[in-house]
Structure 1
Amino acid sequence: MTVTITHPGAGLLAPALDTLTDVVAGDWASVARLCAARLKDAKTCGFDLDVVAVRAGVVRSPRQTYDYQVHHRFLVVSEHPAVLCAALDLYVQLWLGRWDTLEQVAPVRTRPIPGWRPLELLRARARHQLPGTWPEESADAEGLSQAPPTARLAHHILTSLEGGSASPLYDVPAGPAAVHVT
């Protein structure tokens, strides 16, 4: 199956697929790279996220990439729409500060260290975030109306793929995207 997204910012959503690939492969530091603009030091945050991943029982595996192409106003994803939905949902959740979502995506291959809790992901985010980016240790960090434009666009496309209509509570930069599944 192929999903074609037509929008001036469509290419900005390609990192969503790369982040899903990284997280599934056990590379939680990719979240720090994705959200680097909102962190004091993305490299240090990435190291902390890798430590949290080990505590959660996540083991790194080979990275299996998803098939997509970026064109001027198009993102063409040659995968099942469910893969794109998973990538966009994770992308939106991470930009909203809900980093505890990681533990629901990454396959656990060993037993977590006793005492492991998903709250550790939110604490790692809170330690490294720049002031005013997300509320401290909150799973419900911010709404879509205050999210970066790419997160709002990702949510709009995710809603379209799932058969709903975009929320009037936020603006989509450059207008709505066209989503076509073949």
Structure 2
Amino acid sequence: MNQPEVVEKDEVKQEQDSLEFQLFRMQENMKKIAKKNEIISIDQTNKGQWVIIYSHKWKNKFQIMLHDCSSPYRGKWDGAIEATYKDQHTLHIADIKGEKNKGYGSVLMKYIKEIAEEANVQSITGDIAKRDFDHMERLKHFYWKHDFDMKIDYEEQFGEIVW
């Protein structure tokens, strides 16, 4: 009867070791990232992975990036979202990049919405390009999950999103 307890303790120990490792990486990565970028936050993906959220801003354009704390930071992001202010009321997403099905896009979307709200931006827009039509079902699910409306022209292979 004690066998399940031993397994549970081993699992808890492994989880604790993993968390300690991620926290160590997070501390080291934040030092490197902060040298050239503004750190926005530390967050977790829907899969429980700790990530560092940071940004780089230009005049009317910015990029929000994400680095997964399971690996050392070597100057490259694991996920990114680029956006431009079309005017004082509209933010336009140029691109979302990163490995699929890691939860990175959802974390990045959370922060672009926060930035929009802080800047009193009323809408976020974006285009769906021809290159996106090979994963349209995944895009529809993603944007629906984040409260975006979509207009899709399947014949012309073009679309728009609006939040």
- Computing the radius of gyration over CA atoms, which structure comes out larger, 1 or 2? 2
Higher relative contact order (CA 8 A, sep 6+): 1
- TM-score above 0.5: no
TM-score by length of structure 2 reads: 0.27
TM-score by length of structure 1 reads: 0.25
